[in-house]
Amino acid sequence: MLTGEKLGGAIEAAIKLKGVTKKEVAAHFGVQPPSIQDWVKRGTIGKEKLPKLWSYFSDVVPATHWGLDAIPAADHTESTTHSLDTSIVPAYHAPDAVLVPLLSNCGSMGPGSELLESDVIVGDLALSPHWINQQIRPQNPQELRFIHAYGDSMHPTFTDGDVLLVDTGLSARDPSSREGVYVLRANDRTFIKRVTPTFDGKLQVTSDNPSAKTVQTLNGDHQVDVVGRVVWAWNGKRL
């Protein structure tokens, strides 16, 4: 497997072959454009992102581009900690599994993440219907979505890089009905914040991190779209 500057050169070549910009690559991976420049110059990409990197460029470059005989399955956590020359293992889903889309758009727990022009599905994660009914109980499981969250303003509820399960159903997009953590869109950015109804009918937007003093009251004058309510975090915290 390529590392260091050789990996950086391979990433730069793959970007040119795919015909995308570094900004587009950064949006796909949920990082800032300078991070992509570091990948290109020094090959400084975390091992946990390598399977997603291979998958993203798989339509334009072969596995040998990365110094591999075969690309391991990206949905196995062992692929980032064990030998990377393992043959591809076909993914198995139970016949009744609910495939929840994983969106390329991400949410920021800080100053907000720039929106892509549209929600792009980059894959899916399989959930058991029994688990969904026991833990989530959405009105429609087909309206569940996974997104990545970045930043620390919602710590300790979430941590940087958590994958969040979001209910985008109609009832889940009404923060006036219950306090919760919601995915919000405003000023072409995506935010993940706690929204609390107040006695006077307004909505208060806050961060869970005591060191983040973000407090905003929504009184109807703000153009804010509620994407959905966060119902589960990849770290196993039910909300």
As a whole number of Å, the CA-based R_g of the chain is 19
Tokens of 166: 């979001």
**What is residue 196's predicted lDDT score, i.e. its pLDDT?**
92
Instruction: Looking at the structure, tell me whether residues 75 and 102 fall in a common domain.
Output: no
Beta carbons of 77 and 51 less than 8 angstroms apart? no
Confidence band for 236, pLDDT divided at 50, 70 and 90: low
Kindly report each contact of residues 87-93 with a partner whose C-beta sits within 8 Å and lies 24 or more positions away, as own/partner: 93/126
Instruction: Looking at the structure, tell me whether residues 159 and 218 fall in a common domain.
Output: yes
Instruction: Looking at the structure, tell me whether residues 114 and 200 fall in a common domain.
Output: yes
Kindly report each contact of residues 44-50 with a partner whose C-beta sits within 8 Å and lies 24 or more positions away, as own/partner: 44/8, 45/7, 45/11, 47/80, 47/81, 48/80, 50/80, 50/84
Beta carbons of 47 and 82 less than 8 angstroms apart? no
Rounded Cα distance between 199 and 144, Å, is 30
**What is residue 229's predicted lDDT score, i.e. its pLDDT?**
95
- Which of 46, 80, 114 marks a domain boundary? 80
Return the percentage of the chain with pLDDT > 70, whole number.
71
Instruction: Looking at the structure, tell me whether residues 204 and 159 fall in a common domain.
Output: yes
The helix-helix angle for 4-18 and 33-42 (nearest 10°) equals 120
Residue 92, in any domain of the structure: no
Residues facing 186 on adjacent strands: 189
User: What is the four-CA torsion angle of 63, 64, 68, 73, rounded to 10 degrees?
Assistant: 0
Instruction: Looking at the structure, tell me whether residues 149 and 193 fall in a common domain.
Output: yes
Per the model's pLDDT, the better-predicted residue between 110 and 173 turns out to be 173
Range of the domain at 40: 4-80
Instruction: Looking at the structure, tell me whether residues 120 and 170 fall in a common domain.
Output: yes
- pLDDT over threshold 60, residue 33: yes
33 preceded by a cis bond (ω within 30 of 0) = no
Give the tens place of pLDDT for each residue, 53-102: 888 887 777 766 676 655 655 443 333 333 333 344 444 456 678 888 87
Nearest in space to 102 (alpha carbons), one of 80, 77, 127: 127
Average pLDDT for residues 11-38, to the nearest whole number?
A: 84
Instruction: Looking at the structure, tell me whether residues 65 and 120 fall in a common domain.
Output: no
Number of domains in the chain: 2
Give the tens place of pLDDT for each residue, 109-150: 555 444 433 444 446 778 888 888 888 889 899 999 988 888
Residue 222, in any domain of the structure: yes
